[in-house]
Every structure is written in C-alpha cells, then in structure tokens.
Amino acid sequence: MVDTLKDFIDPIEIYKIIVDNVNELVSIIEKDHPFRIEFVNNQTFSRFLNYSDGELVSKSFLDLLHPQDKDKIEKKLIKGFEGILELEEIRLKHKNQKYISFELKARKIKDHENRIKILLILRDKTKNKKLETKVKDYENKIKNLVSSIPEIRFWKLFYPKKYEEALKLSYEMLQTVIDNIPENIFWKDTNLVYLGCNQNYAELIDAQIPENVIGKKDEELLFNKGLHQTKIEQIEEKESKIIELNKPEYHVVESWIFNDDKKIWLDTNRIPLHDSEGNIVGLLVTYDDITEIKKGEEKLKESEQKFRTISERSLMGILILQDDLIKYVNQRASQTLGYSIEEMKSWKKNKFLKLFVPEDRELVLKMAREIELEQRENRGNIQIRCIKKTGEILWIELFAKSFNFQGEPAVLVTAVDITKRKKAEDKLIESEEKYRHLFESSPNMICLIDGNRKIIDFNSALIRFFDRKRNELLGKYFTEVYQFSEDELLLLDEKFKELFKKGYIKPLELEIIKDDNKAAWLNVQASFVETGLQTLIEIIMEDITDRKLSEEILQLNEARLNALFKLSLMGDSTEKEIAQYAVEKAIELTNSKFGGLFFINQGELYLKHFSHIDFSDFSEDFNANYRSLNEIICWRELLNERKPQINNNYTGSIALLVDHPQSNDIISRFLIIPILDEDQVVAIACLFNKKSNYSEIDIHQITSFMDGVWKNIQRKRAREALRESEKKYRDLLETSSMGILVYDMRANDFTYVNPKLLKMLGYEKKKDFKKNDLIKRIYHADLKKFFRLLDKEIIEFRIYDKIGNLKWLSSRLINQYNEKGEVTSFRVWVEDVTEKKMFEELIYELNINFLSYTPDIQQNIERLLETCQKLLNSDVVIYVHRRFHEGKEIYYLMDSNKEVQALSPDELNNKLFINELFMENHDYVQTIFDINETKYAQTDPYIINYKAKGCYGKLIKSQNEFNSALCVFYDKNPIISHQDKFVLFLVGDAIEIEQRRWQVQQHLEEQNKLKTDLLSRTSHELKTPLISIKGFTELLLTIHKSNLDSDVISILEEIKEGSNRLERLVNSLLKSSRLDQGRFKLNITTEDLSFLIKFCVKELQGLAELRNQKINLNIHEYLTCNLDKERVYEVMTNILLNAIKYTPPGGNITIKTDIKEKFYIICVKDNGIGITEEEKSQLFKQFGKIERYGKGWDVDIEGSGLGLYISKKIIELHGGKIWVESEGRNEGSIFCFSLPIISK
C-alpha cells in the first residue's frame, strides 16, 4: 500500500506543503558577498517583517541586519563555514524600521545547476525574547505567545532545465530544508499509516530515524513511547476528521501526558494531501514543541501577580510608558494624581503630558522617548512639577529606567510625592533669606563678636547710628565702637563676665553722647549664638532715645493735661486770672525762673500777666504806654516768621521784650512762643532762665498748653457773646415774616413756634396753641417726609389749620449743634405756599394734556373738557363749535362725558342754554345764576339731566370770529374765584389752538392729495413716450447695428441707458404714489429672512468686488418671518446698494441680525462717508436725496431720493421700523430695520 501511494503523492509536493506550514523564515542567498537574496517564503516574511512579495529578492541580506549584528554575520559568511552554522542570534529590520530577534541556522546547499547557495532558517526569537524580557521584568517569568502559519512558495527556483537531472537535486535540497526545520513533521496515507517524517519527529517518538516509522501507526509507535491509549485514540479521531472533511486545522494547542507523568505541549497543524486531480491521498502533520513556552507563561502569570501585589502595596506611584501611552498605573499613582486607573490607561497618545506643567512637557516627552529607545541612560532623582486633576500643583521626584514590556521597549517610572518636602526646603531657604534680610533690615544694631571681643560682623543699622565705615570696625574690639568712659568700660566688663557665667546679659540701658554732642540712649543685651563653625556673641543694641524722650514727654503731658483740666474749671474767672494761672503753670512745666503772657489786639500789645516780682506794677504801666508791635524791633522777626525762638546763650536784660528802665535783670536763656489762631498771632508767651537748655520738648509742651489756654479764653468770650446774641436772635424770630418752629431732640417735641406761624395756622394768641399737638396737625402722608428732612434741605408738606383746612407749607431745616458736634435741635423756616400749589396743580394738569396730545383733534378736545371738569369740580362741561359744510351752517357739540352731536342753528337757539353766550360779543367770563328758571329749563338736556342751577362760560375767538363757546354747569349757583376764571381762560386758549390745528390739517391734506395726484398722473404720462423711446432704440441696436458707425452706436447706447434710468425713476414715482394713496398691498408669506439676506448679498457681491469691498455676514442660521418676499428683498437690496455706493473702494460692510423683544433687527454697517445730523432729517423723506456731487468723495452720486422713502413705507406696512445711526462725516453709517417675529 505504501508503494502504491508513492504513485499518487509527489514527494516534492509533500516537501513544499511542509515548508509552507512551518513557523520559520526560509531564505536562500548567494554564497558570495554581498549575499543577495534569491528566495524567501514571502508570506512568512510578510507576516513577521511586513515585506510584500518579491520586495526582498535581489537585495543584500546584510541590509536586513541590525548594525550591531552586521559585522559579526558578515565576517562569518565571508570567512565561510563547513556543515551547519548553528543558532546565531540576530536582529532583522521590520519594514517599520524596528528590529525583531531571530535565531539563525545556516547551511550550504546546491541548486539544480550544482551552484552552491546558503540556506537560512530563521526562527522567531521574539516569542521567547518577549517572554524572557517579561520574566526578567516580572522576576524572570515568560508569557504565552501567539504563532502564525507561514506559507512558502519557492518552487519557481527549481524549474529544471533538465527535469530528470534537477529532480534528484530538488529532493536533496528539500530534505535538507526539512531536516533543518526545528518542527516535528510527518505525513500519513488515508488509513493513517505513516509514509514518512523528519528527523526531529523520529527522535520525539523514540523511532531513532525517519525510516523506522514508515508503514506503522500511532497505536504502535506512540504507545511504545508511553502515551496513554485514550490520547492516541483522540489523535486518530482528529486526523480522520481532517481527511473526512477535507479541511485543514492550524495552530491547535494540544498536550501529551506520558506514563511517567511527563507532559508536553504541542502547537499542531493538520493539512490534507491531494494528488494532481485534487483527491485526498493523505495527511501532513506538524508538531511544534511549545512546552517551554507554556511553562514560561505559567511562571509569567505567577511573576505578574507578584509584581502587581508589590506594585499595589508600594508607597511610590508606578507607571509604565510605551509608545507615548500609559500601559500600567498603580493605585498609589492614581490616588496621588486624582485620576482613576481606567481613565489614565484610556488616554490617547501623548495625553499623559497633561500631568506635567506646560513648560516641562516637551522635556518629559523627549526624555521618555530617549529612555524607551535606550538612547539615554536611566534617570533618577528628577524633581518636576505635576498637575492633579483638581488643578493643584505637586512636586514629584521621578526615577525612570528602560525595560521591555510585552516584548517592546518601554519606560518604568516610579514617583514619590515630595510636595511637603519641597515646601519645607523652600521654607528653609526662605527662612535663611529672611534671617539675613532681618539681620540687615533690622532697626536694631546687631554686632557679632568672638570670645576675644573682636568684631566679626555687624549690620547697617550700627554703621548708620555710629556713623562709621565698615573697614573701621571689622576686626576691632567692641569697646572701640564708641569712646566709653572709665565707668562705662567697667560696667561693660562686669556684664561680659556675667555673660560667660549665665550665657546672656539682661537688657541694660546706657546713655551716651554722640559726636554731635547730642545725648542718645541704648538698650543693650547679649547672648551666645551657634554659627555651625564657632560660637559667637550676638550683641543687640536698640536706640531707645525716642522712647526715653517719649517717657519724658508723657510725664510733661500728664502735667500739662492736669493744668488744662484745672483751667477748664475756671469758668467764672477773669481773663487776667486765667493768664496768671497759665504763666505759673508754664514756668512749672519748663522749670523756668519767670515768664509772661501778652495778648495782641489789632497790632497792639497788652500785657496780661508777668510773674517776676519786680514787675508787679509793670503791667499797668506797660499797657498805659503800649507800643505798636512794629515798634518793638526785637519782635518783628518773631511775628513775621510766626515760629518759636530759643536762645540758650543770651546775655542781656529784659529790654529784649520791652524798652523799660526797670528791666535790668540778666537773662541767660529764653523761650518765646507765638500763639496762633487761624494763622494769626493772637498772643505771645515768654519764659526765662530755665536751669538747663530749652529744647523742642519745651516748645511742644508750651505751644500745646498755651493753645489750650487760648481756646479756653475763646470759649469764655464766645459764651458771653452767645448770651448777647441769643437775646438779639429771639427778638428777630419773634418779628420774622416767615413761620419758625424749633424741635428739641432731647425733649422729642416742638419747643418754639413764632407768631407768624401761629397766624398761618389761624391762631391769634400763643396760649391757644399747644406745641405738642403740632405733629398731629401735619398731614399723615407727609409726616415721614417731614422728619426725614436733611440739614438745609427744602421740602413742601401739608398741615391742617385751626378750622381744619389743609394748607401747603414750604420748609427749610437748619440743624443746631452742641460743642461735640452733635445735633441737639433743628429749626424749621416755613412759608405758606397753598395758593402757589393750587396754580402748580392747574398748570400740571394742563401740561399733561398738552404732552398727551395726539393727531386726533377731537380726542384732544375731549381730554381738555375732562380736565376742565376736574379742576373746576363741576358737574359737566360743554363745548360748541360753528362750522360751514357744503355751504350750510352746522354746530358741533361735545361734552366732558364724550357725547358728540351735530346741531342746526335752530336746534341750538331753541333748545340749549349755551346759545345765550353767543348773544354777547366778547370773550370775558360770563357768570349766570338760576338757569333752571329760564326758558331752557324744559328743553336743555344738561339742565334737566344734571339739575343745573348755575353756570359760567366764555366765547372762544378764532380768526377774528367768535365761532365757539365753552360753558361749565353746576347743580348750584357757583362762587367763581380768580383761579377758576384762569382755568377757563387756559382751557379756552388750548381749544382755540386745536381749532387752528384742524384748519391747518385740512389744508395740508388737500395739498398732499393734489401732490399725489400730480405724481401719479405725471408718472403715467411719462411712461407712454418712454416706452416708445426705449423700444425704438433697442430696435435700431438690434436690427440696424451693422449699418451704423461706432459714434452712432455709442449715442444710441447712451439713449438706452438714459431710458432705463428714467424708467426706474418713473417706477419709483408710481410706487411712491401708490404708497401715499394707500393702494399698495403686501403679499405676505412665511419665509426664511436669513436666506433672503444671503440671496441679496450674493446678487450684489460682484459689484462690491469691483469696488474692492468686503461684505461680512453675522446673521442667524434661520429667521422665520411673515413678510412680502419681493418687497423686503427690495428694501434689503436698496440699503445694501447704498452701502456699496457710499463706501469708498477698499471699505468693509457688515450685515448683522439680532433678536430683541418681539422683533428681528437687521443692520447694515459700513465704514463709508457717514451721515451728518442735518442729513439724517432728510433721509427717509420723499425726494430726500442728499447731494454728493463735487464733494471729492469716491462714491456713486446717482439716485432719485425715493429709495429710502419707499423702504420706510414698506417696513411700516410690515409693522416694523427703519432708522439710521452715524457719528458724523467719515465715521460710517448703520442702517437698521425691524420686522415682527411670528407669534407661536
């Protein structure tokens, strides 16, 4: 049977199928340099390296090698080898420029022409390499790989010149290939009897050589190997099914377990074999032993689990970056950065960079890529800023290293949050800087000295205080800083001994005299400080001169305040007594021997008191023989400069002050201080012979004290003046022509009302008026307003008088303050404005009517009659006007209840009482009583219906005729005041104005109708000859153009263009006429306004481009509106065309839409020549064209002046408005119109 099968199965075909289904790359190359490729199994090469069919043929095999492998392999190939070149590990270039690891096995073979070639078998090392790399990264474990099935097509290499000769060589070559492929390969017939195998399979089943398997079955061979019978049956069942279904299976992973419990894993391919006619004649099987791979996968899972356990428990954040993506992230990193693990792993390429601050991102990306490609050494201790999901900035310390993750280069990143540490470091640096800053900027003097008391360092404050240079002090002894006295040196020596004993010196106050002979006080303390290198003494000296001075001043201030307090209690004392007390206290405050106080009045000097005993009589003598201040030469400078004077080295007599023969005492020191009031010298204080020198402190104390003395004297004078003033003021209040009342805040009531206010309120005697009832008389609605009245504010309020009449008063409030500036009471000045308010109300009512006037004259007159009735408090007001209609006299009657009727002269004469007014020939007011007893009592409906008894009225004169009358009816005989008559006159005048408006309106309507008729008739008359001119011109240009010369044709073209312009003008005139006559009808449909705007822009885009203008659109996508599409198109085109015409070349035009309330707003804005205020008033009028000719503008000046007028009428017919905005000439214009939005 085996022999028979040989006739059907071509061994070359078997070998070809075997090569097609192995997992290795197969290539044949030339034996000589450069080792060009003659054959590759294309599909396998494509699978692993992505090269297409034939792409590698004729290229040098060396070009595929990694640069580091190229020299090694090239040397071995050039040197040559015998037999087989075993298991060299090399890297081949993928088409994407990356490198993949393979195990190379090579041997020499001969082709059918006996030429020596080199057969290369390349096994994918990446599978094992990936696992090895993973195991190394996950504690040297590996993971399962997925293999692919290659196909080999190489028989074209063996197309023989002589088939018989090549056949044998082909067998040998194929046998060589099969024996050098590491897979286990065998083939069987349809009865599953072995026909052959390769050496690897023979060794796997202990058959030794391939010949020992031929003619046998698995149950014999595999059973002898120790495979369980059940597994043998399963294998036979699978192989039978392949033959039965005629369908191959690839890469089925199976396991074999032997009797000794040894277990192997096999990657199995089973392929049916066919004869030349396609019949199944056998089976080819390949086994790839993947036991080590499976074991590696199991170890890898274990190591991965260990890695994840360690990673998740780690206190450091861990990430794996590969191809600019996050492949792995642990829980610590997720918590630190605020992103979930799934969120970070889902980020696209380079999105991980958002974890870093923008200025660091480029550096991070570059570093990661270089580490991943092993172009940069592993990095550690990189401190960088990260951004949490919340936006918070963190400081992270990174450690990065390259490694292989899932067989590909990657970067393992571990990170530690060092934000707290960073902040602590920054604080430390800041603290050091602050210390140095404090050292230098400290207001205290700081000096560092060593144990020998030599100066090591000091700050700027010490240099400034002692006025020394740095090189003068460095290295010197501390005691050389200042020229200490012997006592001070002894004291310092004792303190240094105390320092070495206790470690510190308690604060010590020292007074020193500086180089300028001024005393200064120092607070000195010292302690030891550690500098890290040595222990130094830190001496801190504080300048307490000001403090000591303040303490002295404080003591003096207390004495001065006590003196002022006692002075304040001397309210009943005379000025001389106050002056005597002031001088004695000034002497005491300054520790002087004697002194004096002079007052100045209008340039004359008066002595108030002098303390020296020798001058007891000097005061009276001096005042009796006073001298002008200008005559006392020694005081002129004092008065001019208005500054205190000190002299601590004076030798002279008292004549310094006054030239007096008894002034013989010797003065050694003096202090003279002017006392100022509003920049004027009002008094002079003099002090003499202080035991020590006078100083600025003395000036301050005496100036403040004497200022208090002067204010006390001023208050005394003010109180005396106030008592006199109050008496005069009360007399003024009592005789005032205005009402006055006073409200006391403490008593919370009115405390004073003057006679004038009593009279306003109807009281004759004060005893009849109760002040505490005044609040009750103020009108309740004005009470809050009255008490909210501000200082010097004027308000008007209402108040009831004695008999209950309501009066209007105008008031102005003035606050009264005490010495502390607090309001104690307020005074209100009152004026009676009752009559004024009545007239204001009358004028207001009439103004409201005038402001509310409408074009409807009848409505205006009705409103005037209602106002007249209201103001005069009447029952009814009627108005009669005489007109002539078609030659007949008619009286039109209207009343305040809006009743209107037309009467004949007879009806008026016989029925209505108002006819009596026409009997007089003047427009004075006529008052008539008892009209209910006249003949009209039974016929006049107003007398009957309103029970009228009296009335008053007047005729209204218009165009020199009394053709109207106004009459007011009451149900009793009225008492008519001047105000009532004034109201009637005003209403009558207003009605007379309305009558004139009616006459003017009638005249204008007639004129407008005549104009409209003229325009309509003229337009129609122009249209007939225009059609003839235009028609014959076009006929000449169409039929006889060839017979005309160019000049004639040009003239005809001008005629045609002129006809077109005239036709447009005539059409505009006709349209304007129809609009005026109200004969213009709209064809309303629902349209998209936005589309209409775009359509208009598209039509005029060419014209704008000719003028190099740009049209910008800023409109809504859809604006649904009810409109006449043709008419709105006409408006939009007209406005946009004007914008193009009146905008110079190169300008910009913008169209914008907006939605406000219930309207769409469409605006066309340009940056053209603009519109002045005068031009705006003409724009929308008929023939309102603005002249542009000769202005020097590069704009179109044609137009009829009807376009905007027609546009305005069309928009108004739609219920919208049209307007223009412009800042003036050359500021551009904005034309806008509105259209109602469709109601939903």
Q: Please state, in angstroms and rounded to a whole number, the distance separating the CA atoms of residues 1151 and 1164.
A: 5
In this prediction, residue 1073 carries a pLDDT of 53
| Partners of residue 741 on adjacent β-strands | 753, 828
In this structure, what are the phi and psi dihedrals at residue 1151, rounded to the nearest 5 degrees? -110, 125
Which residue is associated with the tokens 């002056």?
579
**Peptide bond connecting 34 to the previous residue in cis, omega within 30 degrees of 0:** yes
Instruction: Report how far residue 850's alpha carbon sits from residue 859's, in angstroms, rounded to the nearest whole number.
Output: 12
Closest CA to 94 of 45, 61, 140: 45
The CA-atom distances, in angstroms, between 666 and each of 649, 659, 693, 736 are 12, 14, 16, 64
DSSP 480: G
Give me the domains of the chain, ranges plus CATH numbers. Answer: 23-127+142-182 (3.30.450.20), 183-304 (3.30.450.20), 314-424 (3.30.450.20), 442-543 (3.30.450.20), 549-717 (3.30.450.40), 745-832 (3.30.450.20), 1081-1236 (3.30.565.10)
Q: What pLDDT does residue 1235 have? A: 93
Q: Which amino acid is at 1207?
A: S
Intervals of the chain under pLDDT 50? 1-9, 135, 138-167, 170, 613-631, 633, 654-656, 658-663, 851, 1023, 1189-1190, 1192-1197, 1240
The residue to which tokens 């609605």 are assigned: 781
Which DSSP category does 39 fall into? E
Q: Is the dihedral of CA 1139, 1145, 1147, 1151 positive or negative?
A: positive
Q: Is 294 exposed, middle or buried (0-12, 13-18, 19+ CB in 10 A)?
A: buried
Cα–Cα distance between 908 and 1202 in angstroms, integer? Answer: 51
Tell me if residue 1142 falls in helix, strand or coil: coil
Q: Which two tokens stand for residue 481?
A: 């800083």
The residue type of 1000 is V
Answer yes or no: pTM beyond 0.75. Answer: no
How far is 625 from 643, CA to CA, in rounded Å? 27
Residue 1206 has a pLDDT of: 80
pLDDT in tens, 849-901: 554 556 677 888 888 888 888 888 899 999 998 888 777 888 889 998 888 88
pLDDT at position 16 is 58
Asked if residue 523 lies in contact with residue 509, where contact means CB atoms within 8 angstroms, the answer is yes
Residues 511 and 987: their CA atoms lie apart, in Å, by: 97
Measured distance CA(207)–CA(198) in Å, rounded: 11
Q: For 638, list phi and psi in degrees, rounded to 5.
A: -60, -45
Other CB atoms within 10 Å distance of the CB of residue 1203 = 21
- Angle 885-890-895 from CA coordinates, rounded to 5°: 125
**pLDDT tens for each residue of 695-714:** 888 888 888 888 888 888 88
Task: Report CA torsion sign: 524, 527, 530, 533.
Answer: positive
Residue 627: its pLDDT value, please? 47
Specify the pLDDT at position 789.
67
Q: Which of 622, 623, 718 is nearest to 677 (CA)?
A: 718
Q: Which two tokens stand for residue 877?
A: 């007001």
CA 36 to each of CA 33, 154, 449, 1117: distance values in angstroms, whole numbers, following the listed order: 8, 16, 87, 67
Environment class of 137 (CB within 10 Å of its CB; exposed 0-12, middle 13-18, buried 19+): buried
